[in-house]
Structure 1
Amino acid sequence: MKKKILLSLLASTILVAQEIELEQITVTSATKTAQSIEDVTSNVNVITSKEIEEKHYTTVTEALNSISGINFTSNGGLGTTSAVYLRGLDSKRTLVLIDGIRYNDITGLNGAPFGDLMIGDIEQIEIIKGAQSGIWGADATAGVINIITKSAKTGLHGSINAEFGSFNTKKYGLLASYKEDRYYIKAGLQQVDTDGFTAQSPNGDNIDMYEDDGYKNTTSNIKLGFNFDENNKIDMSHTIIYSKTESDPFATPNGIEDSITEDSFSQVNFNHKNSFTELDVYAKLSIFNRDYPQGWTKKFDGEIQEYGIKSNTPYNDDDFVVFGLDYKTFEHKNDLQKKYNNKAVFLTNSNEFTLLGSKTVVSESIRFDDYDKFDDKTTGKLGVKHFCKSVEGLITSANIGSSYNVPTIYNLYDPTYGNENLTPENTMSYDLSVGYKEFKVTYFNSTTKDMIDFDLNTWKYFNATGETKIQGFEIEYNTKLGEDVSLTSNYTWLDAKNSDDEVLSRRPKNTINLALDYYGVKNLHIGINGEYIGERYSNDNESGTRTGKYTVVNLVTNYSLNKNISIYAKIENLFDKYYQVLDGYATAPLSAYAGIKAQF
């Protein structure tokens, strides 16, 4: 019944659509250069700082979960292992970046460690959907998620925020920046500390029967830059994520299996501009350190070094070409002591055509990767976007691309589970979109060969024969209902099957997100948002425990005391719905939080 109500509301709101002026947004991840979102052919969603600050998300996963085509699972509360599924493909097949620096953990099995990504000083989150290996290389099969932190604004600025709530949760944040013509500096610190609740709980049990599993996260970031002159500048950034997670060993709700993580992400970029081109020379470093004092009783240390040069050359009025060279090394230290490297060359071209008054954007990307461990790879992407003149507001687009995922060093060399004969996965995907003003429908389709999986008979990783096929629809509708109410809504239908034509686990067939925001009272914002998760199962072939078919509703309110100070409160799981996203792992009941933010 709840599903029918939400579907009816989504359909009825389409009938009362009112045209609104969309805010101009620039994205950097679609073509590796700054570009208006209007001129990007790829399917792109952007979560802005305004939305983040109004919704008061705690984690990046919560924010991503509001986007069509995305759902997630987690092994308990804050800080536990989380998997984000983008168009049915799991985390290790999505390239995640922090300010353009790789966040995918080379020592892990799950790609990016989403559980440690807290919301801090984030300017926007860019989600580029579909195969992006032709631009970014390996691990961008499902798409790219780039988390962009805030930059310094001219003058002296700062902010401080604090939040308190359920499970003895405390959040603090500090941000300060200074910028003038020649240089800038910005520093931020965010901390989350909670007693939490049990990570594991048999389905149906009261989570209060078990001990709490706490979590602490401290994320710090610094950015600074210097302008030598109007044509030459240098920018640097450094992010540290420190966390301590309490969790439970498998099927042991009152057990102890703590972990400590200290990851860092650094880059230096020299930028030169002249009348012909813009040139970037960069170095990036991702360091991963994970320590499991109980359970695993071992350390996982990894490092990714990246060096490259990239040029962006405009020609004609609205056309440009991006060309670059890139070199990376991937190393897994400790017990494995293995590494491999990658050399690449990439090219992206974008053109804007006007024919009979209608605008069309065409982009082409190609990339060649040379690994010392795997066969060479050539991938590409083609995108077209057309703005119809005869029907104002009608936009159509199509994208097709090839991509691949490489085995992790653990997949290859672990003494017990590894398989040195593994080869990269290969994926071909495409999508077709039709948008009219605030309404958009997208069909997506991907086929993966040689998918890396785990054989429960041999206890080894292997390349599956056959093809993994995923297809689906995304429907998005965002508008204003009158002057004071904004509606954000999306619906995703997913059909995901493995190489044996069995439905893949942990992916809901239907997902609906709805949010209503009211601004009718001066200085006050009230928002209510809900999510419906359709049928899904804990195992492939619709077997195991059914973990879908539930609705969760949240409430948030913000009030500005003056131009510098605001207060807020939020209630999560407003109707105290009992559910599990993974069988045997606990989720939060009704919980409440309140906070304050001051800025200058």
Structure 2
Amino acid sequence: MQNKIKLSLVACLLTTTIVANENLGVITITSATKSEQSIKDVTSSVSVVTGIELEEKNIKTVTEALNLVSGISFTSNGGMGKTTSINLRGMGNNRTLILVDGMKFQDPSNTSGANIAHLMVTEIEKIEMIKGAQSGIWGADASAGVINIITKKPKDGVHGSILMEAGSSNTKKIAGTISYKNKKMDAKLSVTDIQTDGFTSAAPKGKNIDKYEDDGYENTTINLQSNYYINDNAKIGINITDIDALSQYDGWKAPNDSSMKSDVDSTLYGITYNHILDKHNITIKVEKSDFTRDEIGTTFGVKSFEGETQNIEISDNIQYNSEDFVTLGTGISSDNVDYGTVANEKNSKENKDKYIYITNSNTIKNIIFTQSIRYDKYNNFDNKFTGKLGVKHNFTNDIYLSTNVGTAYNVPNIMQELNPWGDTNEKLNPEDTKSADISFGYKGLVLTYFYSKVTDLIDWENNKYQNLEGKSTFKGIELDYKKEIFSDTLLSLAYTRLSAKNEDGEYLRRRAKDTFKFGIDYYGIDKLHIGLNGEYVGGRYESDDKKGSQTGRYTIGNLNINYDLLKNLKIYTKIENITDKYYQTIEAFASSPRAYYAGVKYSF
């Protein structure tokens, strides 16, 4: 039982204070510097959700997974698969770089960047969240931070699993994986299929959502990855992720509209060659992401979207002392968009970028210094240097102090420039961001103060996307606490206090001032886990300056019960929104009532 408690403690939401014991291995981070590091050696403000925690909470979507973390909130136009936006420390969806196994999931044909609503939890090893400006390492789209969804890797021999789940709204989930690994090669295939009748997307506030027609959702996600080991120091690998989804939705204040559907196909391709030569770890990668979307039934604006990103990069991680390294990299990337409107008008555009970067990390006794600088040369925008500095002092294994400062450059999304729904504005300026944070960690407690200032923030005003005058500020505190309060009970708490204001001091819309997330897990009965988790969302308004409809001030709780029926056979049940709380994250769009799910998983 004690080992199980330790395993689950590590599986809980991790910060830079937590490192696994010898039996579980050291938790490592790759997204902070593009090099694998122990989490205790990373200066950045980092949160990690592990695959074990996702399993224990029986989480289906990446949005749910991210919502476990302090500093992250979301809004959605309905239930599963509907348009969803996340805010990282108050900064919007298209300012956070979303990666799947290091490959960009940013759709240039989507004004919000990553279409995160279609990312399901499929064989995930961990999700890394690097907070604060990261353009000095990752370039554009990373002014708020980076989220890297890392899938599980094959283990020696033959392994597999199958999961079946059913629940409310005629929801059905089937997921399976098979993998094989030997000394020369490995391969893994995983497939997840989710179907649900759902509930209405749109609903007048306060109205019973059962009065309106349901808006269903289907998603099939396939991941294939394989590596061939040329020798002990060289390998070549491929990684393909395909997401095919169909989502029914409603127009604005049209809850019984059954004609609207969004047919989405997203495919990410990656080929990587890795060679270790003396103190050099050389990586060459070629990546391509294709996004297509057909808006069935729409009578306004764009009917068909095609977006494509490409990236070719070569990097070298050089270990020049036992605890010191430098990473050098250069590459070429491009974003392409083609679209067709309801009126059969077509348009397209391409943005290109050539870049070079260097990141250096030094450890002197218990102090870690990290420095990054990057130069981007754009074809359509001014060229830009961005950078980042980080310092961390590990006073003891339980106490640390870290601080980071960084700059970011967020170029306009192509669809924001062309704007087929209103007025074109190809004179949009990139956003300039300066950010800083400071964190203090003591055992299971982490306190962080963060501050970001954005010049030329891009937002929708007067029928077009344009740069807001002056500087917008995002600042606040994050408080994380994890503790084994009894020998068989784990407690996790996360509080965020956020101030997001424009140049005039007005609070920006759809950002909650306070959020409080909680979780308690009990393991006192052999083979049984009972978990309760949820969140409180404080005051949040539909319009700037605390105007419009109130969409906050509610508490949601979820109950999970897992039982190990046999060594390789688990059964579980989950109740979402156990108090059946009525709420809306966006005015006039529905959220899930109380819902019940049960499932079984067999592994071998």
Shorter chain as normaliser: what TM range? over 0.9
Q: Is the 8 A contact 1:236 1:269 kept in 2?
A: yes
CA deviation vs aligned residue, 1:390-440 (integer Å, no higher than 9, x gap): xx6220000000001111111223454321111100000000111111111
From 417, 432, 435, the counterpart of 1:429: 435
Q: Is the 8 A contact 1:478 1:489 kept in 2?
A: yes
**Aligned residue in 2 for 1:9:** none
**Aligned residue in 2 for 1:342:** 353
**Aligned residue in 2 for 1:439:** 445
- How far off is 1:21 after superposition? 6.4
**Aligned residue in 1 for 2:56:** 54
**Aligned residue in 1 for 2:12:** none
**Aligned residue in 2 for 1:93:** 95
Q: Is the 8 A contact 1:410 1:418 kept in 2?
A: no
**Aligned residue in 2 for 1:155:** 157
2:429 alignment partner AA: T
**Aligned residue in 2 for 1:283:** 286
From 405, 417, 420, the counterpart of 2:423: 417
1:503 alignment partner AA: Y
**Aligned residue in 2 for 1:382:** 389
- How far off is 1:500 after superposition? 2.2
The answer to whether 1:544 aligns with 2:559 is no
The answer to whether 1:504 aligns with 2:508 is yes
**Aligned residue in 1 for 2:266:** 263
**Aligned residue in 2 for 1:575:** 579
**Aligned residue in 1 for 2:375:** 368
- Distance of 2:582 and 2:196 partners within structure 1: 21
- Distance of 2:163 and 2:460 partners within structure 1: 45
Task: State the identity as a percent.
Answer: 46
SS of 1:336's partner is: strand
CA deviation vs aligned residue, 1:353-377 (integer Å, no higher than 9, x gap): 01xxxx0001000000000000001
1:587 alignment partner AA: S
The answer to whether 1:133 aligns with 2:135 is yes
**Aligned residue in 1 for 2:31:** 29
Structure 2: give runs of 5+ residues left out of the alignment. Answer: 1-17, 340-345
- Distance of 1:241 and 1:423 partners within structure 2: 32
- How far off is 1:39 after superposition? 0.4
Q: Is the 8 A contact 2:411 2:431 kept in 1?
A: yes
From 84, 108, 122, the counterpart of 1:106: 108
SS of 2:78's partner is: coil
Matches within 5 A, 1:38-77: 38-77=40-79
SS of 2:109's partner is: coil
- Distance of 1:272 and 1:287 partners within structure 2: 28
**Aligned residue in 2 for 1:5:** none
SS of 1:469's partner is: strand
- Distance of 1:573 and 1:507 partners within structure 2: 21
1:320 alignment partner AA: F
TM-score by length of 1: 0.94
- How far off is 1:599 after superposition? 0.7
TM-score by length of 2: 0.94
2:72 alignment partner AA: I
Matches within 5 A, 1:166-315: 166-255=168-257, 256-295=259-298, 296=300, 298-315=303-320
- Distance of 1:455 and 1:200 partners within structure 2: 24
- Please, what is the CA RMSD of the aligned residues? 1.3
Structure 1: give runs of 5+ residues left out of the alignment. Answer: 1-18
Q: Is the 8 A contact 1:20 1:479 kept in 2?
A: no
From 533, 536, 552, the counterpart of 1:532: 536
**Aligned residue in 2 for 1:469:** 473
2:400 alignment partner AA: I
SS of 1:559's partner is: strand
- Distance of 2:471 and 2:335 partners within structure 1: 28
**Aligned residue in 1 for 2:525:** 521
- Distance of 2:82 and 2:19 partners within structure 1: 40
- How far off is 1:532 after superposition? 0.5
- How far off is 1:530 after superposition? 2.0
The answer to whether 1:451 aligns with 2:457 is yes
The structure-2 alpha-carbon separation of the partners of 1:414 and 1:509, relative to structure 1 and needing over 3 Å to count, comes to closer
- How far off is 1:333 after superposition? 1.5
**Count of matched residue pairs:** 575
Q: Is the 8 A contact 1:188 1:221 kept in 2?
A: yes
- Distance of 1:460 and 1:55 partners within structure 2: 41
The answer to whether 1:595 aligns with 2:599 is yes
- Distance of 1:320 and 1:26 partners within structure 2: 16
- Distance of 1:461 and 1:500 partners within structure 2: 19
- Distance of 2:218 and 2:504 partners within structure 1: 42
Q: Is the 8 A contact 1:336 1:414 kept in 2?
A: no
- Distance of 1:461 and 1:514 partners within structure 2: 37
SS of 2:54's partner is: helix
- Distance of 2:219 and 2:132 partners within structure 1: 31
- Distance of 1:127 and 1:20 partners within structure 2: 16
- Distance of 2:45 and 2:147 partners within structure 1: 12
SS of 1:410's partner is: helix
- Distance of 1:200 and 1:67 partners within structure 2: 27
The structure-2 alpha-carbon separation of the partners of 1:154 and 1:521, relative to structure 1 and needing over 3 Å to count, comes to same
